[in-house]
Amino acid sequence: MEAALDATVASHAPSIETRQTIVLSVPSIVCGNCIRSVENTLRALRGVEAARANLSTKRVSVVVDPSLSSAVDLTTALERAGFPAALLADGVETEQTARASELIPRVGVAGFAAANIMLLSVSVWSGQASDMDSSVKDLFHWLSALIALPAVAYAGQPFFKSALAALKSRRLNMDVPISLGVLLATGMSLFQTMRSSEQIYFDAAVTLLFFLLIGRALDERMRTKARGAAENLIGLRAINATLVERNQTTKVVPASSLKPGMVIAVAAGERIAGDGEVISGRSEIDESLISGETRPRAVSIGDCVYAGTVNGGAALNVRITASEDNTLLSEIGRMMLAAEQSRGRYVRLADRASQIYAPAVHILGLLTFIGWMAIGAPWDQSLTHAIAVLIITCPCALALAVPAVQVAAMSRLFNRGVIVKAPDGLERLAEINCVVFDKTGTLTTGELRLKAGDDVDTVALGRAGSIAGVSKHPYAKALARAARAQGIRTYAVEGVEEIPGSGLIATSAGIEEKVGSAAWAGVEDGCASIWYAVEGKPAVGFDFIDEPRKDAAACVSELQHAGYLVRLLSGDRRETVAQTAAACGIEGWAAEVRPDQKLQAIEALKAQGYKALMVGDGLNDAPALAAGHASLSPASAIDIAQNAADAVFQGELLRPVIETLALAKAARRLALQNFAIAILYNSVFVPLAMMGYVTPLIAALAMSSSSIIVTANALRLRSMRLHLPQVGTSA
């Protein structure tokens, strides 16, 4: 079991520094087969450890060893495989807009051609009723051909290029049957024109292309709206920075050129260009972008500031401490992108289904043509029915069913201060029926205050605060903060070791000093929150007050009302834990619990059939967080990258826990709805097309509509009113 636990914890560890994540934009990804081809192409390259493509965002995230592969190697390999790619950079929105804008003139040409050919066709149809001369009819047909052929050649390029690239690399994508359908309809019409036939389909071929382009343009628009939070972050970076030279002159430089040690000037109202330390000035910083906290944070000399945040007060000078790729904003963006690119159970299911779709489409089209010919239908009628089948059997709706929901969910959670880090975190959060809370910093604010009126031993407080300075545990930080508040100077202590669940130990000149729980300090029945003990002297206790979060009781009540089992597990003293449990309305609680005992408690709940959400300190409760079915952790922005939880939430309230659970269930519901829409669409329209009840025009409308409906349904997640459903339901 310990080996399994170690493996689980390791899976949450930060990636090795020698690895690099490269994100590529691949606009030609149009279906599940494209995803498989792109990923297989990249994984075959030397130095590539992982590759994940997302159909909804048309992005590929690649983990590489930079000493073996570069972005140029990746884009070159994809280009050879028929997938033009570009490194994702600051021009994301421009690139997406350009791709959508490129379709507009093609839509216009197809619409103009379709309208004019339709006028000629109406003239032919009306002329047939009044015995139009055959030479006039042939002239109108040839005029239709002169309009249709260049229009199809130009307007159909997005489909033709994609299909040709796929065929060159010996694969199929959804644009192959579409291109085949358009070319067959056009070719059949040209052949009939050359034979002076009565039945010409130029109007149908060009109108078909017109509807397909409208559908593709609307689909691009919908996907742009569904763009993930990771991409939104890129747009919030400062483009330029004001660099302060050594002679105190300033000049404007690209933010990407900033290096550690450089000094920049940040004017009031300006977005900060990089992570750094304030070296002059006092101001207030709007950090809502990365913390979800709407109140500005006061900063002065020595305080840290982060890229993407806004200076809301006076001018500051900031010394840069990280390059652009290593800022907190970039780190959050990478984590968000990894979560958006990830594949849970539903995504893998949709991918497998869509991969077998492309060959099945061509088989169904061929069977339709053979079937109609076998029952004596004319070849042109048989071919028309086959064309309808080729166009209507679109796997795109199925492939988009889950990724579109996933991206919309991640974006909404991020806007609420929640960052999902685990690949399948949303799916597991939707299955939760039990919530286990830690106390300090989770149910409570974590803003511990030394109890007023205590006769404080300032020498012990100074030494204990110095030792505690190496730890991120709430009590350790509170101890160091209390020492500074008393005017006691703290200093760095060498050789400090942290023992999870117990405390800290420092050894100097053979003398051991301990800071931690009563048991750790060797005190029996200690009534203080934290103790300092040194060999040969009585232990000194410090008692802290930690108030529950403002909405803790309300959130616990809402969870219990919805049928969730709620438990509190804490390493604190029984008296303190009992008070917090009573204040929050939690009946089941345990105190003085070590990390290994928390793990055992989670395993016991699991054995009883509960799927527990562990909500606790991601830096101290890693074993329990890893053991839970899912895990959430409160975290300051600086701690996000090191946190072991599946997701982290920021701010002073506990409400994000409720919102995350509610949104996870809503996301699962919408994903299942999208699956149902895609399956129902194909189950109804494909048989109708094979039976001849669907024309190619209707097929084009239906195919485009299916993708748009699925994406629009996913976008509802961005604005729908959320409520926490009863356990066992998703409504």
Interacting residues of 254 by C-beta distance below 8 A, sequence separation 6+:
239, 240, 241
CA atoms of 681 and 213, how far apart (whole Å): 20
Q: What tokens were used for 484? A: 């500074």
- The helix or strand, by DSSP H or E, that contains position 103, with its residue range, turns out to be helix 92-129
Asked if 477 and 507 count as a contact pair (C-beta separation under 8 A), the reply is: no
* pLDDT tens per residue across span 134-162: 777 788 889 988 999 999 999 988 888 88
For the chain, which residues score pLDDT lower than 70?
A: 1-18, 31-32, 55-57, 88-100, 125-132, 198-199, 215, 218-236, 288-295, 334-358, 394-400, 422-423, 452-454, 525-526, 618-620, 636-644, 728-731
pTM of the predicted model as reported, rounded to 2 decimal places: 0.65
Asked if 444 and 710 count as a contact pair (C-beta separation under 8 A), the reply is: no
pLDDT at position 666: 92
* pLDDT tens per residue across span 260-275: 999 999 988 888 999 9
pLDDT at position 375: 92
Active-site positions? 438
- Alpha helices in 375-502, H assignment, sequence order: 379-392, 396-400, 403-415, 425-429, 458-468, 474-485
Asked if 14 and 642 count as a contact pair (C-beta separation under 8 A), the reply is: yes
pLDDT at position 564: 94
Q: At what angle do helices 655-690 and 403-415 cross, to 10 degrees?
A: 160
| CA dist 277 → 283, 318, 472 (Å) | 13, 5, 20
Domains identified in the chain and CATH numbers:
2-88 (3.30.70.100), 235-329 (2.70.150.10), 418-446+548-650 (3.40.50.1000), 449-545 (3.40.1110.10)
pLDDT at position 454: 52
CA atoms of 600 and 602, how far apart (whole Å): 5
* pLDDT tens per residue across span 327-360: 877 777 766 666 555 555 665 665 566 566 667 7
List 266's β-bridge partners, or say none.
316
pLDDT at position 14: 35
pLDDT at position 473: 76
Q: What tokens were used for 566? A: 């709620």
pLDDT at position 596: 74
pLDDT at position 642: 55
